[in-house]
Amino acid sequence: MAEKLRLMAVHAHPDDESSKGAATMARYVAEGHDVMVVTCTGGERGSILNPAMDRPDVLENMSAIRREEMANAAKILGIQHRWLGFVDSGLPEGDPKPPLPEGCFALVPLEESTEALVRVVREFRPHVIVTYDENGGYPHPDHIRTHEVSVAAFDAAADPDQFPEAGEPWQTLKLYYSHGFLKAKMTAFHEGLLARGEESPYTEWLANWDPNRRDNMERVTTQVPCADYFEVGLEALRAHATQIDPTSRWFAVPLEMQREVWPTEEYELVRSLVDTTLPEDDLFAGVREKVHV
């Protein structure tokens, strides 16, 4: 009997899990593996991005509503979920940008937030952890801090001398960064829509692409086929009704076209304690062979 494989995805806010790698998680759940999402903050400072939800009663109860949305999304994806318990830092705007609010996640000492994540890692004992790259996927202070905490916890969880009160040490075998916002992917969708005679929501985005900016597709090592689970991911995304406008470009590309044009989700392998061959098509490549009894 093979041991269940365990995947942990560490995210900054509720809704990030549904916009980054949701179909991959749904696929592994469907295959019988255990998947946990750890959400570092409560998303309390998130703006209401769905005009239909921009109401006084929602603003007054944002924290509770976002917790309820996260619970609904977790149920749709079939995942386990943990809150790390830190406070959303918000996205500073303006020139100059205002200081971050006191006590927010991005300002909590790294050791404190790392210990909190180490406790969950040692409890769940994941074989694979997925998080953001050093830019946070995009430069939100909570996303960048999530990267820092995840990388620190990957090492610390295995070290018996670090946080000895936080549970028995556990060595995770692989660490990945997720890469969802890829120029190559958006170009494929853009061209696919135009070929169908449809309007593309990516026209302006691609026209404004800095020619000196690197496309993270160059960093991708692992493309996980998960087209059969795209619909589940979109359903989980809709569960975050305060954050997701149903008329936005998240839903602009017809599902059948997504499956045909780009049937994978993308990751970058950054640490591995098992043998694997790149490129990969499975986050558990090399892990399956190691943990099978």
- Overall number of domains in the chain: 1
**Average pLDDT, stretch 58-71?**
84
Least confident segment among 35-39, 58-62, 165-169, 245-249: 58-62
Measure the CA–CA gap between 259 and 237, rounded to whole angstroms.
17
- Residue 188 inside a domain? The answer is no
Nearest alpha carbon to residue 138 among 181, 89, 184, 95: 181
Q: How confident is the model at residue 50 (pLDDT cuts 50, 70, 90)?
A: low
Annotated binding residues for Zn(2+)? 13, 16, 143
To the nearest whole number, what is the mean pLDDT of the chain? 92
Annotated binding residues? 13, 16, 143
Q: pTM score, two decimals?
A: 0.94
- Residue 195 inside a domain? The answer is no
Q: How confident is the model at residue 96 (pLDDT cuts 50, 70, 90)?
A: confident
Residue 243 · residue 15 · CB < 8 Å: yes
Tokens of 191: 């061209």
How much is the pLDDT for 138? 83
Residue 246 · residue 238 · CB < 8 Å: yes
Angle ∠(121,29,40) on CA atoms, nearest 5: 35
Tokens of 237: 């995304």
Per residue, what are the HEC states of 28-92?
HHHCCCEEEEEEEECCCCCCCCCHHHCCHHHHHCHHHHHHHHHHHHHHHHCCEEEEEEECCCCCC
Tokens of 162: 């670090």
Q: At what angle do helices 22-30 and 62-77 cross, to 10 degrees?
A: 50
Higher-pLDDT residue of 34, 201: 34
Q: Is the bond into 96 cis (omega within 30 degrees of 0)?
A: yes
| Host domain of residue 243 | 6-182+216-291
**Average pLDDT, stretch 21-50?**
91
- Residue 265 inside a domain? The answer is yes
Task: Summarize pLDDT for 218-254 with one digit per residue, the tens.
Answer: 999 999 999 999 999 999 999 998 888 887 777 889 9
- Residue 191 inside a domain? The answer is no
Question: Residue 110 maps to which CATH number?
Answer: 3.40.50.10320
